[in-house]
Structure 1
Amino acid sequence: MEDIMEDNFEKLNLLLEQEQCEFVDIPDGFTGQTESGELRLIYLMNDAVESFLVLKNARMTGNYVRDYEGEFEGSVEKADWDLCEAEYILVIHQGHNVFTVFFEDILLETQLYNYGELGHFWVKGYENLRVMEYQIAILRDKYEYLGEKYCTEYEGKLAMLRDFPPLNYLFYPAVPEKYIVPMDNPWEVTAEALAVMQELATEAGDEKLGKMLRRYEKNPDISNAKKIAGMLCRSSHLPVITLLGEKIREAASVYPDRDFGRKQNKYLHELMEKAERRKEELEAENVQTLIYREEPFIYDCDSISFQVYLMIVRKGVWKQKIMVEKI
């Protein structure tokens, strides 16, 4: 139990180092205790996972400011029980506003979800590659912030592709440039990432890409990274990209879909059925089609908005032609 506590405190300290402290289920200006005696703090939130740090038997003094942006400082330390009847103290400075949380224990609450059909189309062009860049990024976050035990063995391998420059945000960013969170050494390729790509190239029968990957392994410079990135969007290499997409969907399918309640689930189901009918029409014309959707997080779904898209993939004379059709 002590090891778990230490691990959760490391997670809390990581949030504070990143100047993050967002509580859920409490209003702006909150002070005191919740009915349950718990305060839930967002730890990791993306399409693959919703994770919270739960402060048990927690009591807040001062007032919490929601949606705060600005100067931030936070610290957590062991308390003197005789002085405040608490095991730990969390102190947060939001600019001139200060609040303190006294609590006895800290737990991790995590829900994992199927992310294989979730995607966003914020940047145009080669959307199939951008969706995979996004999915690999959120998978890597799950792997790094929660640990291997929250991933399947194959997810652990796929997460290594974050360290494959030809497929990361350097070439196929899923978000506009101003929203990119830079990596340390984004041009550095790892042996693990190369091994995964080599497996995919072999399975897809892409000998030319396999040869280029071996060259990249021997000489992992920017020039070779650019050459491979250019190959990934060509029609001749579409089979390996299609295979990677299938692998991601298969890996994610072991997790449940989000449950938004009967009414909203029915509405989403109707949208998905409409998308499936359109997909069947396109596939009857021998057009590769994938369905993706956008959905809110469970913890914050007072105003639910679903978006369902068809990603239509065609082989051009030289490069892949991608179209996105909204349902």
Structure 2
Amino acid sequence: MEDIMEDNFEKLNLLLEQEQCEFVDIPDGFTGQTESGELRLIYLMNDAVESFLVLKNARMTGNYVRDYEGEFEGSVEKADRDLCEVEYILVVHQGRNVFTVFFEDILLETQLYNYGELGHFWVKGYENLRVMEYQIAILRDKYEYLGEKYCTEYEGKLAMLRDFPPLNYLFYPAVPEKYIVPVDNPWEVTAEALAVMQELATEAGDEKLGKMLRRYEKNPDISNAKKIAGMLCRSSHLPVITLLGEKIREAASVYPDRDFGRKQNKYLHELMEKAERRKEELEAENIQTLIYREEPFIYDCDSISFQVYLMIVRKGVWKQKIMVEKI
């Protein structure tokens, strides 16, 4: 239990280092104590996971500024109240504004979700590659911020593809450039990432890509990375991209879908049925079609909106042709 608590404090310190301190269901200017006596901090929030640090028996002094942007400084320390009781103090400076949270314990609350059918189409062109770049990125965040025990063994392998430059944000970013969070040494490819891609190329029977991957392994320079990135969008290498998409969906399918309540679930189900009917029409013409959806987080379910898309994949003379059709 002490190891778990220490790990949770490390997570809290990580948030503070990244200048993040967003409480859930706490209004602007809040001070005092909630009815439950708990304060919940967002730890990791993406399509794959909703995770919070729960401060137990917590009370706040000072005023919390909810949508604050600017200089930030936070720290947490332990204060012995008496021989039996221990209290912790979180102090946050939002510019000139300061608030303090006193609490007695810290827990991690985590819900894992199926992310294999979730995708966003913020950037046009090669949407199939961009969706996978996004899915791999959020999987890697889950792997790094929560640890291996929150991932299956195969998810752990797929998460390594974040370190495969030809497929990451350097070539196929899922978000516009201003939203990209750079990583250290983005051009560095790892042996683990190369091994995963080599397995996929072998299973898909893509000998040409396999040969290029072996060359990249011997000489992992920018030039070879660019060549492979160019290969991934060609029609001749579509089978390996299709296979990777299937592997991601299969790995994510072990987790439940989000539950938005009976009324909203019914509405989403109707949209998905409509998408399935359209998919059947296209596949009757031998057109590869995938269904993706956008959905909100459970913690913010007061503003529920769903979007459902069909991603239509065709082989062009040279490059893959991708169309996105909104339902």
Question: Which TM class, normalised by the smaller chain length?
Answer: over 0.9
Give the Cα separation in 2 of the matches to 1:146 and 1:113. 14
The Cα of 1:81 is off from its aligned counterpart by 1.0
Give the Cα separation in 2 of the matches to 1:197 and 1:304. 37
Task: Encode CA deviations 1:55-95: one digit per residue, 9 max, x unaligned.
Answer: 00001011111111111100000013159975100000111
> 2:119 corresponds to which residue?
119
Given that 1:37 and 1:56 are in contact with CA atoms closer than 8 Å, whether structure 2 keeps it comes out as yes
Give the Cα separation in 2 of the matches to 1:246 and 1:269. 22
1:139 matches 2:139: yes
Q: Secondary structure at the match of 2:212?
A: helix
The Cα of 1:96 is off from its aligned counterpart by 1.1
Task: Encode CA deviations 1:255-295: one digit per residue, 9 max, x unaligned.
Answer: 00000000000000000000000000000000000000000
Give the Cα separation in 1 of the matches to 2:24 and 2:86. 22
Given that 1:86 and 1:102 are in contact with CA atoms closer than 8 Å, whether structure 2 keeps it comes out as no
Which structure 2 residues correspond to residues 10-21 of structure 1 after superposition, within 5 A? 10-21=10-21
Q: CA separation of 1:162/1:183 partners in 2, compared to 1, >3 Å: closer, same or farther?
A: same
> 1:211 corresponds to which residue?
211
Task: Encode CA deviations 1:175-212: one digit per residue, 9 max, x unaligned.
Answer: 00010000100000000000000000000000000000
Which deviates more from structure 2 when the two are superposed, residues 247-256 or residues 75-84?
75-84
Runs of 4+ in structure 1 off by over 4 angstroms are 82-86
Q: Secondary structure at the match of 2:45?
A: strand
Give the Cα separation in 2 of the matches to 1:270 and 1:68. 39
Instruction: Report the TM-score when normalising by structure 1.
Output: 0.99
Q: Secondary structure at the match of 2:6?
A: helix
Q: CA separation of 1:85/1:70 partners in 2, compared to 1, >3 Å: closer, same or farther?
A: farther
Which deviates more from structure 2 when the two are superposed, residues 144-153 or residues 81-90?
81-90
The Cα of 1:214 is off from its aligned counterpart by 0.3
Which structure 2 residues correspond to residues 96-111 of structure 1 after superposition, within 5 A? 96-111=96-111
Task: Encode CA deviations 1:154-177: one digit per residue, 9 max, x unaligned.
Answer: 000000000000000000000000
The Cα of 1:145 is off from its aligned counterpart by 0.1
Q: CA separation of 1:87/1:26 partners in 2, compared to 1, >3 Å: closer, same or farther?
A: same
The Cα of 1:28 is off from its aligned counterpart by 1.1
Of all paired residues, the percent bearing the same amino acid is 98
> 1:263 corresponds to which residue?
263
Q: Secondary structure at the match of 2:250?
A: helix
Given that 1:87 and 1:104 are in contact with CA atoms closer than 8 Å, whether structure 2 keeps it comes out as yes
Task: Encode CA deviations 1:94-147: one digit per residue, 9 max, x unaligned.
Answer: 111100000000000000000000000000000000000000000000000000
Given that 1:37 and 1:58 are in contact with CA atoms closer than 8 Å, whether structure 2 keeps it comes out as yes
Instruction: Report the TM-score when normalising by structure 2.
Output: 0.99
The Cα of 1:27 is off from its aligned counterpart by 1.1
Q: CA separation of 1:129/1:188 partners in 2, compared to 1, >3 Å: closer, same or farther?
A: same
Give the Cα separation in 1 of the matches to 2:70 and 2:83. 32
Q: CA separation of 1:101/1:26 partners in 2, compared to 1, >3 Å: closer, same or farther?
A: same
Q: CA separation of 1:189/1:202 partners in 2, compared to 1, >3 Å: closer, same or farther?
A: same
> 1:285 corresponds to which residue?
285
> 1:40 corresponds to which residue?
40
Given that 1:92 and 1:100 are in contact with CA atoms closer than 8 Å, whether structure 2 keeps it comes out as yes
Q: Secondary structure at the match of 1:275?
A: helix
Task: Encode CA deviations 1:221-258: one digit per residue, 9 max, x unaligned.
Answer: 00000000000000000000000000000000000000
Which deviates more from structure 2 when the two are superposed, residues 80-89 or residues 231-240?
80-89
> 2:67 corresponds to which residue?
67
Structure 2 spans left out of the alignment, 5+ residues:
none
Structure 1 spans left out of the alignment, 5+ residues:
none
Q: CA separation of 1:83/1:300 partners in 2, compared to 1, >3 Å: closer, same or farther?
A: farther
| Aligned residue pair count | 327
Q: Secondary structure at the match of 2:5?
A: helix
Given that 1:293 and 1:309 are in contact with CA atoms closer than 8 Å, whether structure 2 keeps it comes out as yes
> 1:166 corresponds to which residue?
166
> 2:233 corresponds to which residue?
233
